[in-house]
């Protein structure tokens, strides 16, 4: 999370204490138990990693008021979405945060870190710790001055204090002189239902006018599910539609605004959702069943406020 | 100058409300703009903590928000004045800050009475304006006589620690003040004359 120049980047478990000692402010807010998951420079995405994070939270669920996952920003949204669906009816906060400035372009980071007054991690972490002690039974992202649902998050900037915005402009909390809740959430009394299976053999295709299905036919035969990001209203041409009718795997036809029901047995129209949410939710549904009827029910059910009602 | 003043109000405690009033009055008289959870002004919504130059917490009633604000202020390297009425006990989590070298210059914790409240507020403004507490700059002169043995020891230790003998003595006394629980208890004791 810290720059390569900083000797306290977390590469192994023994680095954590030194890293936290750099931020003694955190200790006055809550009792924190740090857990090492993976070191800087390693892969922090994919099905196995999602399951690892979720299992770790599940194994300690009853022992803590809330959980914070510090993660590289490029993967954070997908990781948070996987936690969202794995913990159905969550009754504690699970907050994903990190530094707004990942190590990609060092010269640009040096400029930005001056205007940010640092890498942003400390402020994000302080806000996340405070949120973890509050009544937010949800998986959310904490960056800059906003806390929002992972299911509503859209990456809106590369280097900025607020790198995620909410797809429906609704936030869980805003940060000003404290954490100001913006949305009232009901806390379920029981612990969440934990379903941590995902299918990662999924092909994602963005349809453009003139695209034929021929290019994807071979790959589509090897995967368990297909997501096609379509055009709104008239999602694709008749030929493309006929091809979809012939393949036997579950297909999600997705558009953020509108997709008509296509009356094809293996095709599920998904709309009013962010594309990242649609993809991870579909992977989660496929992890539970290959029955298209059940997948359709899952995709149409609201699990974590994922439907964007005002778009 | 803008400071944020936080306190968790206890409506049944009149003395607390009086102290809050004194704090607001002091800052008004000294031209300090105060943003506070106790007095919301319509324009304050446009502000954020980043625009503040310091934080004052009146901590007679503990609140989790105070910990959050202190952490935020310190992370932005802004001075914090934590005021406790005489006779109060220091919250455990704040002991960590008192003993932290990094925050020594910007985190002040003081036990106040009616007569001393303004002095602490003056100190706080001093820190915001100058970056250090001028009252704690050594100004009182002593002439001391030591035995040659004591002098040899101080010479040896000051060389080892690479500081002057005067700084060495000042440091030893500061450490004693900090660790003397009886004296700390004496400082916290409410005085009838206040």
Q: What is the ipTM of this complex?
A: 0.74
pLDDT at position A4 is 40
B94 within domain boundaries: yes
Has residue B25 been placed in a domain? yes
Q: What percent of chain A has pLDDT over 90?
A: 52
CA distance A294 to B71: 48
Q: Looking at the structure, do residues B155 and B65 belong to the same domain, yes or no?
A: no
Q: Which residue has the higher pLDDT, B62 or B50?
A: B50
Which of A145, A42, A47 minimizes the C-alpha distance to A97? Answer: A145
Q: What is the nearest CA distance from A178 to chain B, expressed in angstroms?
A: 7
Q: pLDDT grade, residue A108 (50/70/90)?
A: low
| Total count of domains within chain B | 2
CA angle B186, B87, B128 (to 5 degrees): 90
Maximum average pLDDT range among A190-194, A228-232, A251-255, B97-101? A251-255
CATH 3.40.50.1170, chain A: domain bounds: 13-194
Q: Which of B 11-70 lie inside 8 A of A, CB atoms? A: 35, 37, 44-45, 47-49, 64-65, 67-70
B183 lies in which domain range?
148-193
**B177 within a domain of the structure (yes/no):** yes
Which of the residues B66, B69, B75 would you substitute to probe the A interface, choosing the one with the greatest number of A C-beta atoms within 10 Å? Answer: B75
- Which range among A44-58, A104-118, B105-119 has the greatest average pLDDT? A44-58
Q: Is the pLDDT at A124 greater than 50, yes or no?
A: yes
Q: Do B96 and A178 touch (CB under 8 A)?
A: no
Select the more confidently predicted residue: B147 or A122.
Answer: B147
- Of the residues B72, B99, B100, the best mutation for testing chain A's interface (the one with the most A CB atoms within 10 Å of its CB) is B72
CB within 8 Å: A25 and B45: no
- In chain A, which segments carry CATH 3.40.50.40? 202-300
CA–CA gap between residue B84 and residue A291 (Å, rounded): 64
Closest to A176 (Cα-Cα) out of A127, A136, A121, A141: A127
In this complex, do B68 and A178 lie within 8 Å of one another by their Cβ atoms? yes
- Of A13-27, A99-113, A143-157, A217-231, which gets the smallest average pLDDT? A99-113
Residue B35 counted as domain residue: yes
- Whether CATH 3.20.20.70 fits A13-194: no
CB contact under 8 A, A177 and B48: yes
pLDDT of residue A86: 97
Measured in residues, chain A has a length of 311
pLDDT of A5 reads: 47
**What's the pLDDT at A289?**
96
Using CB atoms, which residue from B35, B44, B102 is nearest to A24? B102
How many of the other CB atoms lie within 10 Å of CB of A287? 19
The answer to whether A28 faces chain B, any CB pair under 8 Å, is yes
pLDDT tens digits, A130-177:
999 999 999 999 998 899 999 999 998 777 778 899 999 999 999 888
The answer to whether A176 contacts B69, with C-beta atoms less than 8 Å apart, is no
Reduced DSSP (H G I as helix, E B as strand, rest coil) percent helix, strand, coil of chain B, to 5 = 50, 15, 35
Question: Confidence class of residue A178 from pLDDT cuts 50, 70 and 90?
Answer: confident
When pLDDT is cut at 50, 70 and 90, the band that residue A3 belongs to is: very low
For range A231-242, the mean pLDDT: 83
B47 with A176: Cβ contact below 8 A:
yes
CB contact under 8 A, B93 and A176: no
Task: Write phi, then psi, for A154 (nearest 5 degrees).
Answer: -130, 130
B91 and B120 together in one domain: yes
Residue B136: inside a domain, yes or no? no
Contact yes or no for A177 and B35 at CB 8 A:
yes
Residue B58 lies in a domain: yes
What are A184-197's pLDDT values in tens digits? Answer: 888 888 888 999 99
Q: A34-71: per-residue pLDDT in tens?
A: 998 887 777 778 999 999 999 999 999 999 999 999 98
Residues 6+ apart with CB under 8 A from A243: A212, A213, A214, A217
Average pLDDT of chain A is 87
Flag the least confident range among A82-96, A232-246, A261-275.
A232-246
How confident is the model over B150-171, as pLDDT tens digits?
A: 999 999 999 999 999 998 998 8
Shortest CB distance from B93 goes to which of A27, A117, A123? Answer: A27
Domain range A202-300, its CATH number among 3.20.20.140, 1.10.1060.10, 3.40.350.10, 3.40.50.40: 3.40.50.40
Which chain B residue is nearest to residue A130, measuring alpha carbons? B68
Q: Is the separation of the CB atoms in B70 and B82 below 8 Å?
A: yes
Cβ atoms A144, A165 nearer than 8 A: no
Q: Does B71 touch chain A (CB under 8 A)?
A: yes
Inter-chain CB proximity A29 and B64 less than 8 Å? yes
B10 shares its domain with B80: yes
Share of chain B above pLDDT 90, in %: 33
pLDDT at A255: 92
Is B47's CB within 8 Å of A179's CB? no
Is residue B109 situated within a structural domain? yes
A118 against B153, higher pLDDT: B153
**pLDDT for res A248:** 85
Whether chain B has a CB inside 8 Å of the CB on A179: the answer is yes
Residue B159 and residue B110 in one domain: no
- B64 plus B22 within the same structural domain: yes
Q: Does A266 touch chain B (CB under 8 A)?
A: no
Least confident of A100-104, A281-285, B17-21, B118-122: A100-104
CATH number for the domain that contains residue B72:
3.40.50.450
User: Does B162 lie in the same domain as B97?
Assistant: no
- Reply yes or no on whether the pLDDT at B79 is more than 80: yes
Is B81 inside any structural domain?
yes
């Amino acid at each position: 999370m810290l720059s390569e120049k900083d000797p306290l980047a977390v590469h192994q478990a023994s680095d954590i204490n030194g890293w936290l000692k750099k931020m003694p402010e955190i200790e006055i807010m809550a009792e924190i138990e740090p857990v090492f998951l993976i070191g800087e420079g390693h892969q922090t995405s994919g099905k196995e990693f999602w399951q690892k994070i979720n299992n770790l939270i599940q194994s300690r669920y009853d022992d803590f008021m809330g959980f914070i996952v510090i993660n590289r920003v490029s993967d954070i949204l997908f990781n948070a979405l996987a936690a969202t669906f794995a913990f159905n009816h969550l009754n504690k906060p699970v907050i994903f945060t990190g530094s707004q400035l990942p190590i990609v372009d060092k010269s640009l980071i040096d400029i930005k870190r001056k205007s940010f007054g640092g890498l942003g991690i400390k402020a994000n972490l302080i806000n996340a710790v405070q949120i973890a002690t509050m009544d937010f039974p949800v998986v959310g992202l904490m960056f800059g001055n906003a806390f929002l649902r992972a299911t509503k998050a859209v990456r809106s900037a590369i280097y900025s204090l607020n790198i995620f915005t909410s797809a429906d402009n609704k936030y869980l909390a805003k940060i000003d002189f404290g954490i100001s809740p913006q949305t009232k959430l009901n806390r379920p009394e029981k612990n969440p239902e934990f379903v941590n299976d995902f299918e990662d053999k999924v092909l994602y295709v963005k349809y453009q006018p003139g695209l034929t299905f021929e290019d994807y036919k071979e790959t589509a035969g090897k995967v368990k599910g297909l997501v096609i990001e379509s055009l709104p209203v008239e999602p694709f041409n008749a030929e493309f539609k006929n091809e979809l009718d012939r393949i036997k795997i579950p297909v999600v036809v997705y558009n953020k605004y509108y997709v008509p029901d296509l009356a094809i047995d293996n095709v599920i129209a998904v709309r009013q959702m962010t594309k990242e949410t649609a993809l991870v939710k579909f992977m989660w549904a496929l992890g539970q069943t290959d029955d298209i009827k059940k997948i359709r029910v899952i995709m149409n059910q609201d699990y974590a406020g994922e439907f964007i009602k005002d778009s | 100058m803008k400071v944020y003043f936080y306190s968790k109000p206890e409506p049944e405690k009149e003395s607390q409300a009086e102290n809050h009033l004194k704090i607001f009055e002091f800052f008004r008289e000294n031209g300090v703009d105060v943003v506070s959870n106790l007095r919301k002004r319509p324009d304050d919504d446009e502000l954020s903590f980043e625009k503040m130059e310091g934080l004052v917490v009146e901590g007679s009633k503990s609140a989790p928000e105070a910990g959050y604000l202190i952490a935020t202020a310190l992370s932005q390297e802004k001075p914090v004045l934590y005021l406790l009425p005489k006779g109060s006990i220091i919250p455990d989590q704040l002991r960590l800050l008192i003993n932290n070298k990094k925050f020594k210059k910007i985190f002040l914790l003081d036990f106040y009475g009616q007569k001393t409240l303004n002095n602490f507020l003056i100190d706080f403004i001093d820190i915001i304006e100058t970056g250090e507490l001028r009252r704690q700059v050594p100004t009182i002169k002593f002439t001391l006589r030591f035995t040659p043995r004591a002098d040899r020891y101080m010479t040896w230790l000051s060389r080892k620690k690479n500081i002057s003998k005067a700084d060495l003595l000042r440091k030893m006394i500061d450490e004693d003040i900090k660790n003397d629980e009886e004296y700390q208890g004496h400082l916290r004791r409410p005085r009838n004359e206040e």
